[in-house]
């Protein structure tokens, strides 16, 4: 098998594994085996760019930057659906449909109309265009007439096929909903907490925000999902909506298995009643049921109003609420010192679970709702994973009730709380002597994406803290075998593994160490860009705010956070101890030799296929030498790094704006200087 055949076979195998896992939910290989296939394909494609294919599954890892999302008109408007909140509304809808189809009044109840009932996914509407079986465009709903082109980001969603299979139609649109599963939503919020960011409110907003991220590689990491639910075009395979969905499934699309054709309004009611309860067992959010006339000819006959189709309607579930007693308010302290008020409730059944706690978010929410201890409160679990208080039953409020006074000092260490003018949360400023913050910082420091000391888990950290063996991240490197032996669950082998993991962590490169030390707002990607630009921790500690603002992705908030971190003498002492223990606090010689400031202040756009390097390698070289990558040409673009088969529109725009065209050879000669 030659190289081209090997690449083709890998692509086919990976596409099939993707389909098995993300569409059929029947994994055919382990995660490790799948990752190895991806790595193998990426390596071969980098070495052989002549075999470039826009539909390769390697594009799902992302990497393209979109600074501005182009607005594109929908060929077919994406109208919203009329909403209903009662069965009476649906009966009226059924009667309007029958009359619109010309069914005589005497036959209204006897002539069946086939309806398709579908789950109403709570996410972001998307329209995908396929030409000759290839995904060519993805648009958001926007205002219904035009939407944003998010094709690069959509390509990272593994349940959306880049290339169709079997006997697909030549040209059509298919519409669906992009969403986040509960599991991924919880994972994202955990990661946000690690870098000191407030948690996202709900999966719907998170999915929408993710789709508008500028870096498609960041979108890929969030593992969005997508169900498709409506095909539209001039030449569709069948005249039935339900049959077209079945056909789309054979082409590789992820179609919800929870879809049913109903032949009476009573069957529609039965479907609604079933999912009103069962929705709580789904791994994603739905907020209702969509009812559509199944026959396309009947849809056309019924037509549209100015805002919505007459042949479809959305039944919205009522957000489940309960009333219960607010027994007290407690306050949690996060790793970054963020204070979160929590309502402790008299246990109440809500949405299939017993609710005892609800987030109150911050002082502003408490003041807005006027929530008080002893109140009877209304709790809702709608689109939120965590129950929230939405109001107070003031009729039950006692005469001696007093407004809630938000705490002024940390509930853990007693330190004064601080609140910045532009922030909603209060923070404990005693970051190095507050137990939850200390343990949280250590857990972040040893995590997989940071120092990767996997034998040092949360329970072990708690034990070491309670035994006064660690009080900061530098103490980890002072641990001795004789200190660990007396502790519970600490045998010779586990101690050896722990100490070996600590020793191996000294080889972790500077960019990950910088992320690990836990500067607020400095995430994994930002740490990498800072490390490449500043190169040593000493230089970073000396850097002015103006110098920091020159770094890509570093704005005023991050720059101030870095300055604030290094203004604390205790933080500087911890860094000094870590340097003495041999951690990597500067870019390695190998990395330093590959980098320079020769491209400082220069902005590049890469387009086309290259012979000596892949596009990702060229982007890396640009960043290592001080330049900046963008995905689209604008007046701020200095150079267009042009390869073979470059897009004609980019070339035309570059010439119009006076952007300098640069060949791969000329670029490589430039940076070698």
Q: What is the SS3 assignment for 572-618?
A: HHHHHHHHHCCCCCECCHHHHHCCCCCCCCCEEEEECECCCCCHHHH
Based on the domain organization, do 554 and 467 belong to the same domain?
Answer: no
Based on the domain organization, do 386 and 446 belong to the same domain?
Answer: no
Give the residue from 593, 620, 644 where a domain finishes: 593
Distance CA 551, CA 173 (A): 41
Contact between residue 37 and residue 10 where contact means Cβ atoms under 8 Å apart: yes
Contact between residue 283 and residue 115 where contact means Cβ atoms under 8 Å apart: no
* pLDDT confidence tier of residue 333, bands split at 50, 70 and 90: very high
Q: CATH number, domain at 533? A: 1.10.150.20
Based on the domain organization, do 207 and 107 belong to the same domain?
Answer: yes
160: buried, middle or exposed (CB in 10 Å: 19+, 13-18, 0-12)?
buried
Q: CATH number, domain at 36? A: 1.10.287.610
- The whole-number pLDDT of residue 110 equals 56
Based on the domain organization, do 278 and 155 belong to the same domain?
Answer: yes
Based on the domain organization, do 106 and 189 belong to the same domain?
Answer: yes
> Is residue 234 one of the residues assigned to a domain?
yes
Q: For 375, how many CA atoms within 13 A lie in the half-sphere containing its CB?
A: 23
What digits encode the pLDDT tens for the residues 98-110?
Answer: 888 887 555 545 5
What digits encode the pLDDT tens for the residues 347-372?
Answer: 988 866 788 998 898 999 999 999 99
* Lowest model confidence (mean pLDDT) among 60-74, 247-261, 635-649: 60-74
Distance of CA 190 to the CA centre of its chain: 12
- The whole-number pLDDT of residue 480 equals 93
Q: CATH number, domain at 390? A: 2.40.50.140
> Is residue 654 one of the residues assigned to a domain?
yes
Contact between residue 628 and residue 635 where contact means Cβ atoms under 8 Å apart: no
Contact between residue 196 and residue 427 where contact means Cβ atoms under 8 Å apart: no
- The whole-number pLDDT of residue 247 equals 95
Q: CATH number, domain at 622? A: 3.40.50.10190
Based on the domain organization, do 324 and 310 belong to the same domain?
Answer: no
> Is residue 70 one of the residues assigned to a domain?
no
> Is residue 422 one of the residues assigned to a domain?
no
Helix-helix angle 265-278:87-100, to 10 degrees: 140
Residue that the structure tokens 């888990």 belong to = 457
- The whole-number pLDDT of residue 159 equals 92
> Is residue 367 one of the residues assigned to a domain?
yes
Task: Say which DSSP state 409 is in.
Answer: B
- C-alpha to C-alpha distances, 371 to 214, 375, 480, nearest whole angstrom: 39, 7, 50
- The whole-number pLDDT of residue 593 equals 65
Q: What is the 3-state secondary structure (H, E, C) of 438-476?
A: HHHHHHHHHCCCCCCCCCCCHHHHHHHHHCCCCCCHHHH
- The whole-number pLDDT of residue 385 equals 57
Give the mean model confidence (pLDDT) for residues 270-294.
92
Give the residue from 288, 316, 344 where a domain finishes: 316
Give the mean model confidence (pLDDT) for residues 331-345.
91
Q: What is the DSSP pairing of strand 134-140 with strand 146-148?
A: unpaired
> Is residue 421 one of the residues assigned to a domain?
no
Q: Kind and range of the H or E element at 178?
A: strand 171-179
Distance CA 145, CA 307 (A): 11
Global model pTM greater than 0.75: no
244: buried, middle or exposed (CB in 10 Å: 19+, 13-18, 0-12)?
buried
Q: Kind and range of the H or E element at 247?
A: helix 241-251
Q: What is the DSSP pairing of strand 134-140 with strand 124-131?
A: antiparallel
> Is residue 426 one of the residues assigned to a domain?
no
Based on the domain organization, do 96 and 243 belong to the same domain?
Answer: yes
- The whole-number pLDDT of residue 62 equals 63
Domain extent at residue 492: 435-507
Q: Which residues pair with 178 in a beta bridge?
A: 124, 226
- The whole-number pLDDT of residue 22 equals 66
Based on the domain organization, do 192 and 271 belong to the same domain?
Answer: yes
Q: What is the DSSP pairing of strand 628-630 with strand 603-607?
A: parallel
Distance CA 504, CA 511 (A): 16
* Lowest model confidence (mean pLDDT) among 42-46, 362-366, 562-566, 640-644: 42-46
Distance CA 310, CA 300 (A): 9
Based on the domain organization, do 139 and 220 belong to the same domain?
Answer: yes
> Is residue 151 one of the residues assigned to a domain?
yes
- C-alpha to C-alpha distances, 103 to 91, 109, 346, 529, 662, nearest whole angstrom: 15, 10, 55, 67, 68
Give the mean model confidence (pLDDT) for residues 234-239.
91
Based on the domain organization, do 224 and 210 belong to the same domain?
Answer: yes
* Lowest model confidence (mean pLDDT) among 107-116, 371-380, 603-612: 107-116
Task: Give the number of domains in the chain.
Answer: 6
Based on the domain organization, do 24 and 129 belong to the same domain?
Answer: no
Number of other residues whose CB lies within 10 A of the CB of residue 141? 19
Distance CA 139, CA 250 (A): 23
Inform me whether the pLDDT recorded for 501 exceeds 70.
yes
Residues with a catalytic annotation lie at: 120
State which of 16-20, 97-101, 328-332, 422-426 shows the largest mean pLDDT.
328-332
Based on the domain organization, do 617 and 584 belong to the same domain?
Answer: no
* Lowest model confidence (mean pLDDT) among 471-475, 577-581, 587-591: 587-591
Distance CA 487, CA 459 (A): 12
Inform me whether the pLDDT recorded for 382 exceeds 70.
no
Q: CATH number, domain at 251? A: 3.30.470.30
Give the residue from 507, 533, 551 where a domain finishes: 507
Give the mean model confidence (pLDDT) for residues 643-659.
81
Residue that the structure tokens 């969509």 belong to = 290
What digits encode the pLDDT tens for the residues 152-207?
Answer: 999 999 999 999 988 888 899 999 999 999 999 988 888 777 777 777 777 888 89
Distance CA 217, CA 163 (A): 20
Task: Say which DSSP state 536 is in.
Answer: B
Number of other residues whose CB lies within 10 A of the CB of residue 356? 14
Distance CA 47, CA 34 (A): 20
Q: Which residue blocks in 447-523 are alpha helix, DSSP H?
A: 458-466, 481-484, 492-504, 510-516
Distance CA 338, CA 429 (A): 9
């Amino acid at each position: 098998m030659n190289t081209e055949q090997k690449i083709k076979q890998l692509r086919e195998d990976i596409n099939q594994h993707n389909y098995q896992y993300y569409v059929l939910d029947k994994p055919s290989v382990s995660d490790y085996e799948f990752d190895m296939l991806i790595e193998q394909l990426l390596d071969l494609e980098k070495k052989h760019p002549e075999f470039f294919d826009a539909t390769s599954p390697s594009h799902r890892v992302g990497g393209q930057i979109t600074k501005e999302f182009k607005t594109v008109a929908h060929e077919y408007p994406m109208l919203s659906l009329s909403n209903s909140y009662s069965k009476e509304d649906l009966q009226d809808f059924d009667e309007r449909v029958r009359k619109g189809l010309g069914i005589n009044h005497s036959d209204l109840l006897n002539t069946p109309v086939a309806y398709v009932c579908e789950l109403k996914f709570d996410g972001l509407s998307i329209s995908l265009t396929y030409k000759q079986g290839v995904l060519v465009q993805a648009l958001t709903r926007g205002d219904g007439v035009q939407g944003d082109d998010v094709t690069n980001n959509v390509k990272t969603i593994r349940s959306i096929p880049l290339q169709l299979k079997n006997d697909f139609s030549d040209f059509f649109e298919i519409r669906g909903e992009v969403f986040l599963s509960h599991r991924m939503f919880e994972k994202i919020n955990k990661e946000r907490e690690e870098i000191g960011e407030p948690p996202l409110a709900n999966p719907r907003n998170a999915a929408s925000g993710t789709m508008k991220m500028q870096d498609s590689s960041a979108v890929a990491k969030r593992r969005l999902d997508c169900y498709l639910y409506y095909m539209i075009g001039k030449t569709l395979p069948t005249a039935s909506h339900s049959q077209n969905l079945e056909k789309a499934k054979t082409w590789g699309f992820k179609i919800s298995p929870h879809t049913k054709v109903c032949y009476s309004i009573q069957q529609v009611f039965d479907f609604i009643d079933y999912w009103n309860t069962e929705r709580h067992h789904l791994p994603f959010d739905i907020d209702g049921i969509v009812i559509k006339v199944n026959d396309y000819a009947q849809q056309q006959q019924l037509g549209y109003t100015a805002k919505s189709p007459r042949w479809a309607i959305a039944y919205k579930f009522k957000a489940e609420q309960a009333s219960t007693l607010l027994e007290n308010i407690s306050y949690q302290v996060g790793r970054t010192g963020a204070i979160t008020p929590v309502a402790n409730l008299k246990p109440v059944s809500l949405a299939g679970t017993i609710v005892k706690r609800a987030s109150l978010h911050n002082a502003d929410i408490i003041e807005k709702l006027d929530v008080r201890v002893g109140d009877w409160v209304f709790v809702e679990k709608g689109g939120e994973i965590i129950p929230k208080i939405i109001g107070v039953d003031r009729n039950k409020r006692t005469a001696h009730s007093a407004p809630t006074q938000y705490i002024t000092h940390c509930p853990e260490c007693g330190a004064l709380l601080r609140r910045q003018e532009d922030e909603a949360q209060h923070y404990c400023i005693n970051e190095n002597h507050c137990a939850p913050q200390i343990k949280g910082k250590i857990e972040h420091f040893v995590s997989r994406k940071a120092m990767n000391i996997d034998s040092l888990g949360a329970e072990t950290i708690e034990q070491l803290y309670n035994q006064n063996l660690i009080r900061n991240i530098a103490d980890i490197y002072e641990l001795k075998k004789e200190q660990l032996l007396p502790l519970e669950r600490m045998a010779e082998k586990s101690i050896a593994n722990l100490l070996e993991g600590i020793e191996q962590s000294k080889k972790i490169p500077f960019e990950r160490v910088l992320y690990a030390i836990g500067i607020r707002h400095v995430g994994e990607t930002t740490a990498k860009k800072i490390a490449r630009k500043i190169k040593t921790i000493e230089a970073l500690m000396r850097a002015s705010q103006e110098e920091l603002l020159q770094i890509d992705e570093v704005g005023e908030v991050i720059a101030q956070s870095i300055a604030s971190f290094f203004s604390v003498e205790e933080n500087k002492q911890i860094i000094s101890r870590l340097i003495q223990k041999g951690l990597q606090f500067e870019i390695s010689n190998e990395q330093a030799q590959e980098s320079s400031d020769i491209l400082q202040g220069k902005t590049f756009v890469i387009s086309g296929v290259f012979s000596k390097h892949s596009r990702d390698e060229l982007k890396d070289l640009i960043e290592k030498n001080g330049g900046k990558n963008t995905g689209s040409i604008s007046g701020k673009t200095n150079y267009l790094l042009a390869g073979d088969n470059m897009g004609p529109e980019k070339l035309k725009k570059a010439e119009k704006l006076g952007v300098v065209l640069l060949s791969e050879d000329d670029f490589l000669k430039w940076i070698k200087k």
